[in-house]
Amino acid sequence: MRKLFAVVLVGALGLGVSPARADGPPAANVSCSLTDTGVRYGVSMVFTGGGISFSSLKYEWEYMVAGKDKDPTLVSSYGPRTLQSVTTGNGLDLSYEALLALAKDDEKTSVLMYASSVFSDGASVLTNRTGSGCYVELPVVFKNRNQRAEAAVAKTVADAVAAADKAAANANAEIKAAQDKVNNETAKQSVRIQSFICVKGKVTKKVKGVSPKCPAGFKKR
């Protein structure tokens, strides 16, 4: 059973990946990964000097679309290579809706994305279109987006329930503490302090307390 989501390590029009020329930019090899809303594309490159770096390049992002009955792992399954956008950064985020628009609203298709590296020295513009591409199948992107959205909603609900439970527990603890304080005060007030005189012959002694008693040999007067 073939994978539903994978990197396609094939060059445009069946060409292999080429190393950087001394007078031009290196090939831009595209990687892709699923996100909460769609797909994130990135570029990996091998630089060989000559003053060329990620920051000195532009990237022409191009896409190809394969129908639902086509094998997405074969370049021959795809239609023409079409420009999607040009960026100065070596990354691109596309939502499911954006990918669906590229596929002309056919939700059963696959989209293969390439990035051509473009370098300009002020006198000329050099473009390398030999990098590898990366494809995604739209049903997989759609399913992933929905699953992540459902998980996010479930987490939000769970967090809300947990917060409500914690708030209720704190409120109950405060109520109990207040009630305990009232009960303690009431108990203190209900305790009656008694005092009286005890006698033994000509000797008298005053006793005081809760249910006090006369000392041995003394009688309450």
Nearest in space to 58 (alpha carbons), one of 119, 114, 113: 119
Q: 86 versus 178: which is more confidently predicted?
A: 86
Task: Tell me the percentage of the chain whose pLDDT exceeds 90.
Answer: 46
Residue 93, pLDDT above cutoff 60: yes
Q: Is the dihedral of CA 149, 150, 151, 156 positive or negative?
A: positive
Span 5-148 CATH architecture = Sandwich (2.60)
pLDDT tens digits along 130-144: 999 999 999 999 998
Separation between Cα atoms, residue 115 and residue 106, nearest integer Å: 23
Query: Given a cut of 70, is residue 17 above it in pLDDT?
Result: no
For residues 202-221, average pLDDT? 86
Domain ranges for the chain, please list them. 5-148, 190-221
Predicted local confidence at residue 212, as pLDDT: 86
- Name the pTM for this structure: 0.61
User: Pick from 61, 32, 29: which is nearest to 137 by CA?
Assistant: 32
Cα separation, 89 vs 61, whole angstroms: 11
Q: Which residues contact 63 (CB under 8 A, 6 or more apart)?
A: 81, 82, 84, 102, 111, 112, 113, 114
